[in-house]
Chains A and B, each alone.
Chain A
């Protein structure tokens, strides 16, 4: 039987909605809220979504379950006054520098304040100004704009499983902070930027590299070439009022040339190359039955997360660089000759849907003798802003096409922007090899979809794959793999919801439908392309002939592959157990970071301290606990003097200390 509730005296069909807020939205009423996010846990902190329920009085609609026959009013005089007062109080302490804020156009606080017709703030500022966090390459935090809705905190811990930021202090002093009030750059933040994407105001924003891009463009010495990631072209139009489903590749290229980019290329070309390298890497591993499952490594946020949290799985990551870095390496190798420019005068700018790409291009392994493979990484939003800054009327532009050869891509490279795209592209390449039947239009439905964890078994059970997005899902999967409870050949991981199309560098969207439209649009783009398999790209074939010889060759490894390292989660000091003493004391360092800790380093440390005390050797040794020696796969790690002991055992450590002590006591 159908159930109804009554919103402002009008019946609304109650189906599976779990709270009143969702029901009011169905009834075409958009109640303002800061802290309600359908993907996240209920928080009920902002109090803006108050409604009146007959018999109950005022309740928060986000956290109140409907019941049959419920009678709700959504805009009584009392509710309107209450909402205004709440927003006024938030504004009182909000840094109201709106014209200078990068979120000026999509700020929820500004929008709600406008909608509620607030024309003055009756309350005075009560909070002391707090310093901004400017340490991260990808994100800037300004606590003076924070409304404490907690969306960023919950996204980071619930969807990404990290918890790099959380609420600190209390009452008047409450603020969102990284551990110990450190910068995001010093903690386990993976730079996915989803905190900035869910922030209703400008309290967390993407760091802008627009000035650097203009500087390069305005320098007559420099030749500036751009690479554009697939997901950018299905979202850029949103910044100019076009629907999310619009593929704006042609207009985008025209606008970029007008801005002053000398060449415009496609990151999807590099993605085609990634497919071939990664697929061959996989085929070789599968043949030898080693280092399986292979994990994709295109997502820099996932890579940093794996480096911090899954040292045991680092060997399983594909050694392929991400398409951004592959493009950079090939560009810096080949373009100086092709474009008749010195390597130092060639500037590679990438346009990415992603904030973590800013961090990735600054990784030391991608910078050689001061020359970076990718010089500047901009987000979709930043490109949109540059187009606006240059006064270009985007919508009226005539479409143009990319420059050859690196502007030519197949549909395989194109779908990299969607979660499941990398897997599908690899499958298209390897289909023959594994006897996977491929239909005419080369769609592999098995790996497509919205769910955060998708599995597919192909080739008569010979090929098992998993596709995850959101690192919490990745965490669950990795734990299962390590525990031997799950078994795959290929695992694709993307940190952002929906993959790169949902990246934090994209225009801000507050609902799922726009993101889904981008995904669909990218699959459409694939359909309209002349080729769908990476191996069919003639310019890739030419590149192998001229430069790379064959997949996974020595030269390919030099330019297209990389290695991963274990990484500390928190930039911490050592925990010292010794007072001051002789300069030449023997240093003992016991790692108690997560990985070593789990392998029993704590016991080694405790027994070492006990031993040194029992023998009264205190003046000969200087003992500290370190929080990560970044050799996690070989833990527990102990260093004594110049010796580093991996997989240390207590007896081993005790022996060496005794030897050292003997030397020193003499």
Chain B
């Protein structure tokens, strides 16, 4: 599929998603989840379309989308790094990993996505895997007891792979 048609495919996917959930107001969360999976975030224009289809006000849908930290209204990077900074991870040294990753990716608490849209780095409050603290999630993979060096190594591996694919 060429990039040219990606947006069209995504839109058709949104229609599929809406149909799958009967365009029902009570299915807002699964609809938004599926749409976010497609776009990697929730574009404003798509939200307006969803609100129109569900016959709810755009402000209400915006409220739902901003309530859950899972949903993002800003475009996210291709790879998503989530570092746990809950009590257990914090005590076991998550701060050092967070600092190292932000430094490497030139990110801050406010700016969480790299300019090349390759990485988004977020902190989360607890992943429920405190026994593995500190925990880092890279896309779908979970890494326990990570050190700053290890975390940087994972990022470098992704950058290398992306270079080869490009």
Contacts and interface: CB of A to CB of B under 8 A. Distances in A.
A618 B5 contact: yes
Contacts of A610: 8, 12
Interface of A: 157, 162-170, 177-181, 187-188, 569-570, 572-579, 581, 592-594, 597, 602, 605-606, 609-610, 612-613, 618-619, 623, 625, 627
Interface stretch (B46-54, B84-92, B97-105, B150-158): B46-54
Contacts of B44: 180, 572-573
- Max chain A CB contacts within 10 Å: which of B57, B60, B61, B67? B57
Contact of B62 (A166, A574, A594, A625): A166
Given A165-B59, A168-B67, A609-B5, 17 more contacts: A163-B59, A166-B57, A168-B59, A168-B66, A177-B63, A178-B59, A179-B58, A180-B58, A188-B57, A572-B44, A573-B45, A575-B43, A577-B5, A577-B7, A606-B12, A610-B12, A627-B45
A181 B73 CA distance: 11
Contacts of A166: 57, 59-60, 62-63
B67 A170 contact: yes
A178 B48 CA distance: 13
Contacts of A167: 63, 67
B4 interface: yes
Contacts of B52: 592-594, 597, 627
B11 A605 contact: yes
B63 A627 contact: no
B8 A579 contact: no
Contacts, number: 107
Nearest to B63: A166
Given A170-B67, A575-B43, A578-B7, A180 B2 contact: no
Contact of B11 (A573, A577, A579, A618): A577
Contacts of B69: 170
Contacts of A593: 52
| In the complex, the 7 A-B pairs of residues with the closest C-beta atoms, listed nearest first | A163-B57, A179-B58, A609-B8, A575-B45, A166-B59, A166-B63, A577-B7
B56 interface: yes
B166 interface: no
B53 A597 contact: yes
28 contacts: A157-B60, A164-B59, A166-B60, A166-B62, A168-B66, A170-B68, A177-B63, A178-B59, A179-B62, A180-B47, A187-B59, A569-B58, A572-B44, A575-B43, A575-B49, A577-B11, A579-B4, A592-B52, A594-B52, A605-B11, A606-B11, A606-B12, A609-B12, A610-B8, A613-B8, A625-B45, A625-B49, A627-B45
A230 B156 CA distance: 74
Contacts of B62: 166, 168, 177, 179-181
Nearest to B18: A602
Interface in B1-37: 2-5, 7-8, 11-12, 15
Nearest to B2: A618
Nearest to A594: B52
Nearest to A581: B4
Nearest to B68: A170
A577 B45 contact: no
A179 B5 CA distance: 29
A31 B125 CA distance: 39
A432 to B, nearest CB: 45
Contacts of A578: 4, 7
A576 B10 CA distance: 11
Given A166-B62, A625-B11, A157 B45 contact: no
A570 B48 contact: yes
A575 B47 CA distance: 11
A582 B96 CA distance: 49
A170 B66 contact: yes
A188 B53 CA distance: 16
B58 A623 contact: no
Task: Pick the most buried of B7, B46, B48: most chain A CB atoms within 10 A of its CB.
Answer: B48
B59 A169 contact: no
B59 A179 contact: yes
Contact of A575 (B4, B12, B46): B46
Nearest to A574: B45
A480 to B, nearest CB: 17
Contacts of A619: 4
A102 B106 CA distance: 45
Contacts of B68: 170
Contact of A162 (B15, B46, B57): B57
A592 B53 CA distance: 10
Contact of B8 (A164, A177, A577): A577
A478 B5 CA distance: 41
Contacts of B63: 166-168, 177
Q: Quick one: which of A165, A180, A581, A610 has the most chain B CB within 10 A?
A: A180
Contacts of A577: 5, 7-8, 11
B101 to A, nearest CB: 24
Q: In this complex, which of B12, B47, B52, B69 has the most chain A Cβ atoms within 10 angstroms of its Cβ?
A: B52
B94 to A, nearest CB: 21
Contacts of B58: 179-180, 187-188, 569-570
Contacts of A157: 57, 60
B67 to A, nearest CB: 5
A163 B60 CA distance: 7
A157 B51 CA distance: 15
Nearest to A165: B59
A132 B60 CA distance: 20
A328 B61 CA distance: 40
Given A575-B43, A625-B49, A627-B48, A163 B56 contact: yes
B48 A579 contact: no
B125 to A, nearest CB: 11
Nearest to A188: B57
B59 A609 contact: no
Contacts of A164: 57, 59
B66 to A, nearest CB: 4
B124 to A, nearest CB: 15
- Give the interface centre of B57, B58, B59, B73 by most chain A CB atoms within 10 Å: B59
A168 B56 CA distance: 15
Nearest to B49: A592
A187 B48 CA distance: 11
Contacts of A178: 59
Nearest to B51: A179
A575 B48 CA distance: 10
Nearest to B65: A168
